[in-house]
Amino acid sequence: MAKTRVLTGITTTGTPHLGNYVGAIRPSIEASRDTSVETFFFLADYHALIKCQDPQLVRQSSKEIAATWLALGLDTDNALFYRQSDIPEITELTWVLCCSAAKGLMNRAHAYKAAVQANTEAGDDPDHGITMGLFSYPVLMAADILMFNAAKIPVGRDQIQHVEMARDIAARFNHNFAEVFTLPEAVVEDKVAVLQGLDGRKMSKSYNNTIALFAEPRQLRKSINKIKTNLLEPGEPKDPDDSTVFQVWAAFATAQETERMRAEFANGIAWGEAKKQLFELIDAHLSAAREEYHRLMDDPSHVEAVLRRGAERAREHSTALLARVREAVGIGPIR
């Protein structure tokens, strides 16, 4: 029996932070070793253009994200790891899917609706500053998914709607032309921790409360010292379940270490001491990968070679699928 295909994309904007690591990178790297499924991970660099018009930033982010995933041990023999822009079939398929996707469906996309609402509230034209890229974003994402007949799509909650749209577009195409596409399903891991940031809200670039994944030890220590705490003194019992320091600790510690820290909180550990231990835990956890990351960043030829090989493997699938799509819709040589 064919293995289930699992696929997910990483938009290449920004530098990976601890929240990305715990919420997406770490589980994906574990999944990359699972030989009972076929996994596809890719850098969604054409998606980056929707949010980011700074070429230098897009370039830098692609490099950082690829080096991060490799440094942390992504299994690129088992999983396919590639760059969206290396698969021209994806953008070609996007157009074909645009001709199957209902505009009304796109009107309901959360990201587009939020932009329209912001404009309306500001008294601007509803479509002020909204590009066709933002509006058609779900179609490009549908092409990413449908291109490889992926069945399971691990995503955050904010992306469920997009996967459902891909399913909708696929069903419509299959109905109108031929049964070409697998209908994908979003998979949202409930177990995966959503890490809190420096201010206690979800760690996110948009809140500016992140801790960089591969910060130098000095910087990492500084960031951890900035985590918001209450004013309880050393010796006063502290509530671990109300503490970002503890929450981040639990995301990196073993069950046993977590129980020990819980007891230390009850015993009134000083915030300074708890943060010192947190720094040591994270630093020990990441230091080998950080070294490898810097090595890859200084000599990116290895990263580039891995991505090229990934693209070659991916294109074996994508060229075959696109041929079927073109045949189905009547595009091709005159016979």
> Binding residues for ligand TRP, per CB under 6 A?
7-9, 11, 44, 47, 141, 144-145, 153, 155, 159
Closer residue to ligand TRP in complex, CB, 8/149: 8
- In angstroms, give the least distance from the CB of 44 to ligand TRP: 4
- In angstroms, give the least distance from the CB of 242 to ligand TRP: 30
Closer residue to ligand TRP in complex, CB, 139/253: 139
Closer residue to ligand TRP in complex, CB, 12/209: 12
- In this structure, the number of other CB atoms found within 10 A of the CB of residue 85 comes to 18
Decide: 5 and 37 in contact? Cβ < 8 Å: yes
The torsion angles phi and psi of 76, rounded to 5 degrees, stand at -90, 5
- In angstroms, give the least distance from the CB of 167 to ligand TRP: 12
Which residue intervals of the chain are DSSP H helices? Answer: 18-20, 26-32, 45-51, 55-71, 88-98, 103-107, 110-121, 132-146, 160-176, 217-225, 244-252, 255-266, 271-298, 301-329
Closest CA to 63 of 25, 8, 13: 13
Closer residue to ligand TRP in complex, CB, 24/198: 24
Angstrom distances, CA of residue 49 to CA of 13, 44, 85, 142: 9, 9, 11, 17
Closer residue to ligand TRP in complex, CB, 66/282: 66
Of all residues in the shown chain, the one whose CB is closest to ligand TRP is 9
Closer residue to ligand TRP in complex, CB, 31/141: 141
- In angstroms, give the least distance from the CB of 118 to ligand TRP: 19
Q: Which residues pair with 186 in a beta bridge?
A: 153
DSSP at 24: I
- In angstroms, give the least distance from the CB of 279 to ligand TRP: 29
Closer residue to ligand TRP in complex, CB, 41/246: 41
Buried b (16+ CB within 10 A) or exposed e, 278-313: bbebbbeebeebbebbeebbeeeeebeebbeebbee
- In angstroms, give the least distance from the CB of 8 to ligand TRP: 4
Beta-carbon contacts of residue 70 (< 8 Å; ≥ 6 apart): 76, 292, 296, 302, 303, 306
Decide: 142 and 166 in contact? Cβ < 8 Å: yes
- In angstroms, give the least distance from the CB of 321 to ligand TRP: 15
Closer residue to ligand TRP in complex, CB, 12/277: 12
Decide: 210 and 204 in contact? Cβ < 8 Å: yes
C-alpha span between 214 and 217 (Å, rounded): 9
C-alpha span between 291 and 67 (Å, rounded): 11
Closer residue to ligand TRP in complex, CB, 184/240: 184
Backbone φ/ψ region at 235: left (φ over 0), alpha (ψ -120 to 50), beta: left
- In angstroms, give the least distance from the CB of 169 to ligand TRP: 13
